[in-house]
Structure 1
Amino acid sequence: MDHWDPLLTNGLAEGREVILVDFPGIGGSTGETPRTIEGVAAAILDFVDAIGLDKFDLLGFSFGGMVAQAFAKANAQRLNRLILCGTSPRGGEPSPFIAEVRQRATGNANQDDFLWLFFGHSETGKAAGRAFWERRMERTEDRDPPTAPEGIMAQQLAGRDWLEPHGERFADLAAITAPTMIVNGTLDVMLPTINSFHLQQHIPDAQLVIYPDAGHASQFQHPELFLKHARIFLDG
């Protein structure tokens, strides 16, 4: 949860209740991380049932966006609206940059690697990434502990499984009936931007926002603009 931009979480919380949650075995959450996206979505269902949350808006980024899709397919009646950031559908297009992504996305990744993975590659994009890096480190007390290797491995296995379609490719997206906002940057090197178009084309009530000169974490690169768009969408 500490990887989220406080500009966004605090900004959204100005007008609505915001609940941040780590998946089982990730960050501050105990338990064993499921090895499929659908398994993590089932854990989210357990979580919202435990806190008595009946109907709500759901926002997921990257891996979390996959979980949000799986939740929305299985629990359409629980959602008001859905926001998917920097993510891909089951059976989506793999990254043409996968070799470099794997090289840079290690536990020893430095700031340059982080910026390349998540932000636009221009000087403007890198500057926005450095500003985000500072914002996310502002909170110094009670930060989430690092994720254990077992949790990282489980997420990797879930991500690999998500590459395989279940039945006709993208047909399962028709089960997502909540109004949906899909967000990405022009060049997502981890989950290619074309996947956001696939989502928009196959989710029945979906709109797509592509931010210029941005990458995988476009909502962190353009936080003020994303907040405006998200508020308009969530307010209906």
Structure 2
Amino acid sequence: MTATATFAGVEIHYRDSGGADPVPVLLVHGMGGDGRTWDRFARALTTRGRRVVVVDLRGHGRSAHASSYLFGEFGDDILALCDHLGLDRVDLVGHSLGGHAVSLVAQSRPELVRRLVLEEAPIPLRAGEQMGTLVRRLPTPVELWHAVTSMVRSPRAALAFDRSMTGPALDQFHTPHPDWWAALPSITASTLLISGGPRGMVDPARLDAALAAIPDSRTVTIEVGHSVHRDRPRDFETTVARFLGG
């Protein structure tokens, strides 16, 4: 089933495989993509009997463009979708920006989230950390490479993407977020953080700090870069399906 719902004045598109699974899996894509990036993984999960919900974030895919793209608003949209679907327990899987958004959901409503997967979600700076002025003005080489390859592989998503969010999103990623760090211990979900290795966007020191702060967390590295589920789908499917099914 494909459908749309309006939250805070923004129309959000989603797909719901349906079924009797008591704990659905909600998949959230990264910046510049859309829900179709999850097609292969969604099929793998439904084959295992899981109910799968795939969302297009605001400003992406078939969802509407918005006047604001604060990270908290992406998280609020996901929470509103869960409420709209009547979900009281869910597994969340998010890539990049989507990973950050689902981490906010797990922080704000811990009882909702059973298992949490953060694939190459850029971990915010801690208080006192700074990035160089050049990095703050321009995307990093890794970010540029991912954007280019995503455009080549998913031109429809690239055309639908609201590019006005790019600057504000990068500014948010490059600004310390002490509230996010302070809320990590409130996450009660079993949490898996997936790193793409040296070519990815996850800072190893901040990854270690996040693991220490989230009570039930573990990490796995699949050295392929920022889009693990896209570029190493079998390894991603095996790792994440086992984690979600445990």
Q: Does 1:66 align with 2:100?
A: yes
Q: Distance in 1 between matches of 2:230 and 2:207?
A: 17
Distance 1:25 1:33, change over 3 A: farther
Is the Cα–Cα contact under 8 Å of residues 197 and 222 in structure 2 kept in the other structure?
yes
Structure 1 window deviating more from structure 2 (6-15 vs 80-89): it is: 6-15
* Structure ranking higher in strand proportion: 2
Moved over 4 A (4+): 92-99, 101-106
Q: For structure 1, which runs of at least 5 residues remain unmatched after alignment?
A: 118-129, 138-142
Structure 1 residue 31, shift from structure 2 partner: 4.8
Structure 1 residue 184, shift from structure 2 partner: 1.4
The one-letter code matched in structure 1 to 2:159 is P
Matches within 5 A, 1:1-236: 1=34, 3-15=36-48, 16-32=50-66, 34-91=68-125, 98-101=139-142, 104=145, 109=148, 114=149, 133=153, 146-148=159-161, 151-167=162-178, 170-212=181-223, 214-236=224-246
Partner of 2:23: none
Q: For structure 2, which runs of at least 5 residues remain unmatched after alignment?
A: 1-33
> Does the residue aligned with 1:90 lie in a helix, a strand or coil?
coil
Q: Distance in 2 between matches of 1:78 and 1:200?
A: 20
Distance 1:102 1:12, change over 3 A: closer
C-alpha RMSD over aligned residues: 3.2
- Of all paired residues, the percent bearing the same amino acid is 24
> Does the residue aligned with 1:187 lie in a helix, a strand or coil?
helix
Q: Distance in 2 between matches of 1:51 and 1:178?
A: 20
Q: Distance in 1 between matches of 2:169 and 2:157?
A: 22
Q: Distance in 2 between matches of 1:79 and 1:8?
A: 20
Alignment length, in residue pairs?
A: 205
The one-letter code matched in structure 1 to 2:60 is I
Structure 1, residues 123-167: CA drift from partner, whole Å, max 9, x if none? Answer: xxxxxxx9xx4xx79xxxxx668235xx33225413422433343
Is the Cα–Cα contact under 8 Å of residues 81 and 179 in structure 1 kept in the other structure?
yes
Q: Distance in 2 between matches of 1:219 and 1:75?
A: 26
- Give the alignment's TM-score, normalised by structure 1: 0.73
Structure 1 residue 10, shift from structure 2 partner: 1.1
Structure 1 window deviating more from structure 2 (198-207 vs 165-174): it is: 165-174
Structure 1 residue 44, shift from structure 2 partner: 1.2
Structure 1 residue 2, shift from structure 2 partner: 5.0
Is the Cα–Cα contact under 8 Å of residues 82 and 179 in structure 1 kept in the other structure?
yes
Is the Cα–Cα contact under 8 Å of residues 124 and 175 in structure 2 kept in the other structure?
yes
Using CA pairs under 8 Å that are at least 6 residues apart, name the structure with larger relative contact order, 1 or 2. 1
Structure 1 residue 189, shift from structure 2 partner: 4.3
